[in-house]
Amino acid sequence: GAGVSQSPRYKVAKRGQDVALRCDPISGHVSLFWYQQALGQGPEFLTYFQNEAQLDKSGLPSDRFFAERPEGSVSTLKIQRTQQEDSAVYLCASSLVEGLKNIQYFGAGTRLSVL
């Protein structure tokens, strides 16, 4: 595709439900990032993949959050036993090469609302 695609665009979950958010990066991009963006705030780093390897997961807020990128392309962010404080927009970004200091292309995000 032409850009980073995220699905679903909107997700409403009842507290305690599990959710899975999908990211399709730009084809051939090595790096993939997940961010959490609370209302009125800047994106906050969650985790980073270089191909299929998860090299940094220091931003994941708890062990309820899990991310994977098994074949080095599509990535899924899973949140177990959702809580109200998980409500936010989850952004995915990809970059052509490894590491930082390169342009990150963002998807439109998934807005998660936990009731």
Partner 1 sequence: GENVEQHPSTLSVQEGDSAVIKCTYSDSASNYFPWYKQELGKGPQLIIDIRSNVGEKKDQRIAVTLNKTAKHFSLHITETQPEDSAVYFCAADDTGGFKTIFGAGTRLFVKA
Sites of contact with partner 1 (CB under 8 A): 4, 33, 40-45, 48, 55-56, 58-59, 91, 93, 99-101, 103-109
Cβ 103 to partner 1, closest distance in Å? 5
SS3 at position 106:
strand
Between 39 and 70, CB nearer to partner 1: 39
Between 44 and 83, CB nearer to partner 1: 44
Cα–Cα distance measured from residue 41 to residue 81, given in angstroms and rounded to the nearest whole number = 24
What radius of gyration, in Å, describes the C-alpha atoms of the chain?
Answer: 13
Cβ 80 to partner 1, closest distance in Å? 23
Cα–Cα distance measured from residue 62 to residue 97, given in angstroms and rounded to the nearest whole number = 28
